[in-house]
Structure 1
Amino acid sequence: MYFPVTYSTLSDNALTEYLIKKYEITDIIKTTYYLRGMNDTYLVTASEQKYIFRVYRGDWRKNYSEVGFEIDLLQYLSEQGISVSLPIPDAEGELIQVIRAPEGNRFGVLFTFAEGSEKAIDDNEISNIFGRAVADIHLKGDNFQSNYLRPDINLDYLIKQSLLTIESAMQHRKEDFKILENAANQLEKIIEEQHGLDWGICHGDLHGNTNVSFKDDLSMTHYDFDLCGYGWRAYDIAEFRLAREIRLGHDNEKLEEIWNAFMKGYKSIRPLSDNDLRVIPVFVGIRQLWLMGLCLKDPHINGSIDYDDDFIDEKLIYFKNLKVLQEGISNR
C-alpha cells in the first residue's frame, strides 16, 4: 500500500513509451518535463518535429467535459483561421487520454508545437499586434458552441469561490480578511450594477507570456487555453492590463503607452462599449483577487512558503490602495 498522493509527477521515460504506443509516433527521441503550472507540460522531441504533451492536474480538471470544451474551442478557432496549438488524435482517433496516476485519473492531450519564441510584449508595435489578435479571438469566438460544459467565468467563480479559499487561509487574521471581503463586495457590486457588458468566449489568461509564440514577422500561435470559458470580455482584457501593471508599475508613462497601443489594436478589429471600457479597472482588481485565491488554494505548484503572511500583507496593501474603489468608474 502506497501513502496517499495529492499530485504526482509522471516519469519522462514512461511517457515516451506511452506516447510511442498510443500515437504510433515511432521516432520520439525523448520526453522532457518542461513546465509546472496549473497543469504539467512535457516537451516531446522526435527526429523531425516537436510536440507538447499536457497532463492536467487531477485536482484541477476533474471532469472530461472541462477538457473537451477546451479541445472543441481550439478546433473551432483553427477552423476560423486563428493559429492555435491543436490537439493530435492517437492511433484510434482519441484526442483526450485518461491516465491512471497514483492520485487518480488525469487527462492528457498531445498538442502541435507552437513554432517561434516567447517575446516580451513591451513596446507599442507588438502590443498593438497582440491587441488585434485578442480581438480576433473574441470576434471569431462569438458563435462558438460546445456540447461539453465548463464553469462560466462569472462572479461566483471569480469572487465568491475565491473568498471561501482566502477566508480559510486567513483564520488567524479575521479582521484583515474583513478588509479583503469588503473590497471584494464593492467590486462585485460595481459589476452587478452594469448592464449589457460584452459576454462571450474568453481565453481566460491573456497575460501574453507562456501562452503565445511569436515568429520573426510577429505572427503568432496561441496555446494553453486551460482557463478558457464564457465570461466578460472586459475581464479577459483586464489580465493583460494587470500583467503590465505588475511589470511596469514603476513606469506609469510606459505602462499607459503599451496599454493604449493594445487597446488601439483591439478596437481596430472589434468595438468595445464605453461601459466595457469603464469596468476594465474593476476586473483588474477582481483578477487580482482570483489569483490570490488560486495561490492560497494550490500550494503544490511552488510550495506554501511563497504564500505566507508577507503574501497576504502585499495583497492587503494592493486592495487598500485600489484606485477604482477610491475614485469609482464614473469618470473613466
Structure 2
Amino acid sequence: MPDVQPHDPALVPTHTTAATSSVAHWVAQHHGIAVQQCHLIRRGLNDNYALRSSDGARYVARLYSIRPRGGFNIDFETSLLAHLDARGVGVAAPIPASDGRMHVPLQFPEGPRALVLFRHAAGAVPDTLDDIELTGHALARVHQAARDYAGPPSRYTLDGHHLAGRTLGYLQAHPELDAELLETYRALVLRLLGELAGAEAGLTRVVCHGDTHGFNNHVATDPDGTRTSVFFDFDDAGPGFLAYDLSVLPWSYMFRKSLKQPDELLRERWARYLHGYRAGGGEVSDGDLAALPLFLQFRHLWNLGEAAGRLHHWGTNAVPADWLQKQLEVFEAWGRLDLRA
C-alpha cells in the first residue's frame, strides 16, 4: 500500500462537524463548566450541541457556520438577547465565557467560526392552540422590549435585498438552472421588490426575530402551573418589518404541508396567534395584514436562498431545478391569499 500523505493540498474542506468531545473540551476550557454529557442536536445552518454539566445544569452550544451572506452577526445577537433577558422576556440568553467574551473564536479547517453557549430552553415546541396563542403573546413582548435596544447594530437589515436580492445572486451560481428559469426568478424578485416599495410606507418596523416558524420557541409549565414561552435561535434577527416576522409561522405550516391555501387548522392557529400577539400588547395595522401574502413570498425566497447559497455544503439536491420550477406556482398562489383576521 502506498504511503498516505498527512495532508493533501488539493483537499479543500467546506464544512467540518466537530466531535462532541471537542465541544465539551472548548466549553470546559472557555466557560469553566465541567461537562458530563454532550450530544449533537443537529447540523445545518449552524451546528448545535446539547450539554449537561456535572451539577445537572443544561446548556446549548452553537458552532456558527460560515454563511454566504457574510460575517457573523454575533455581537448584535448576543447583546440583543442580554437586553431582552434584562427586560424579563423569555429568551435563551447567552452565557459569557470566563474572560467575559460572549463568543469564542475558533479556527476550523474551512475558516474562522465561533462558539456561543446558551441557557437551555425548557419545554417543547408549541403544539396546541393555547401554545400558539402564548407564542404570539411572547413575540409581542420581544418586539416591545427591543424598542429601546441601544447595543451594537445588526450587520443585516431584513429588507427586500436581504430576503430576496441575495437569493437571486445565489441562484445565478446554480449549475442546473437554465437561463429561462433564472430569468423567471429575476422577474419575480423585481416584482416583489416593486410591491414592497409601494407598500413599505404603511408597514410597521420592529426588531425581528427573523425565524419564528414555531420550532424556535419552547412552551413550558413551571411547578406553580404558570405557562411560559421562551424564544431561541436569534441568529437571523435584525431590524425589519413586523409583517415579515408574523408571516413566518403560516409560511412554515404551508411549506411543510405543501399547501397553496391555508387549511382549517392553520386558520385557527393564525387567529389564535394574532389574538395572542395583540393581547401581549402588539399592534398590527391593516397595512401589515394586507402585506402578509407579500412577505410569505419573501420568506419563501429567503429560505430557498439559504439552501441555494450552500451548494458547496448541501449540494444541488437541496434545491433541485425541477423543485424550483414547481415553486413558481406556489408564489403565484400565495400572492393571492387573504390572511386578514
TM-score w.r.t. length of structure 1: 0.90
Please say if residues 95 and 109 of structure 1, whose CA atoms lie closer than 8 Å, have aligned partners that are also in contact. yes
SS in 2 for 1:160: helix
Aligned position for 2:148: 143
Q: Partner of 1:169 in structure 2?
A: 174
Please name the residue that 2:243 is paired with: 234
Match of 1:19 in 2: 27
Aligned-pair CA distance for 1:236: 0.8
1:285 corresponding residue in structure 2: 297
Give the one of 175, 182, 189 matched to 1:184: 189
Q: Give the aligned partner of residue 254 of structure 2.
A: 245
Q: Report 1:80-91 matches (<5 A).
A: 80-91=87-98
Map of 2:206 onto structure 1: 200
Between the aligned partners of 1:303 and 1:95, the Cα distance in structure 2 is 32
RMSD: 2.3
- Paired residues in the alignment total 323
Q: Is the 8 A contact 1:135 1:266 kept in 2?
A: yes
Corresponding residue number in structure 2 for 1:131: 136
1:220 matched residue in structure 2: 229
In 1, the alpha carbon distance for the partners of 2:313 and 2:268 equals 33
Contact 1:159 / 1:184 at 8 angstroms: preserved in 2? yes
The within-5 A match list for 1:252-271 is: 252-268=263-279, 269-271=281-283
Q: Deviations over 1:208-228 (max 9, x none)?
A: 11x111113541211110100
User: Take 1:163 and 1:13, find their aligned partners in 2: how far apart are those partners?
Assistant: 39
For the structure 1 residues 170 and 280, does the alpha-carbon distance in structure 2 shift closer, same or farther, using more than 3 Å as the test?
farther
Structure 1 unaligned runs (5+)?
none
| Residues 184/62 of structure 1: CA separation in 2 closer, same or farther (3 Å cut) | closer
Secondary structure class of the residue paired with 1:285: helix
CA distance in 1, matches of 2:125, 2:193: 34
Instruction: Give the 4+ runs in structure 1 shifted more than 6 A.
Output: none
Question: How much has 1:110 moved relative to structure 2?
Answer: 0.9
For residue 283 of structure 1, report the CA deviation from its aligned partner.
0.3
Amino acid at match of 1:97: V
- Code of the aligned partner of 2:86: E
Deviations 1:62-104 (A, max 9, x none): 536x111000010001111101111112222222101111112
Which residues of structure 2 form unaligned runs of 5+?
1-6
CA contact (8 A) 2:40 2:48 kept: yes
Cα separation, 2, equivalents of 1:43 and 1:74: 19
Q: Match for residue 108 of structure 1?
A: 115
Check whether the contact 2:94–2:119 (CA below 8 A) recurs between aligned residues.
yes
Q: Percent identity?
A: 25
Contact map agreement 2:79 2:151 (CA 8 A) in 1:
yes
2:229 is matched by which residue type in structure 1?
A: M
Equivalent in the alignment of 1:296? 308
How far did residue 184 of structure 1 move?
A: 2.2
Identify if the C-alpha distance between structure 1 residues 145 and 78 changes in structure 2 by more than 3 Å, giving closer, same or farther.
Answer: same
**Number of the residue aligned with 1:63:** 71
Q: 1:224 to 1:60 in 2, by over 3 A?
A: farther
- Structure 1 equivalent of residue 4 of structure 2: none
Structure 2: which amino acid aligns with 1:292? L
Change in CA separation of 1:236 and 1:229 when aligned onto 2, cut-off 3 Å: same
3-state SS, counterpart of residue 173 of structure 2: helix
Residue pair 1:170, 1:177 contacting (<8 A) in 2 also: no
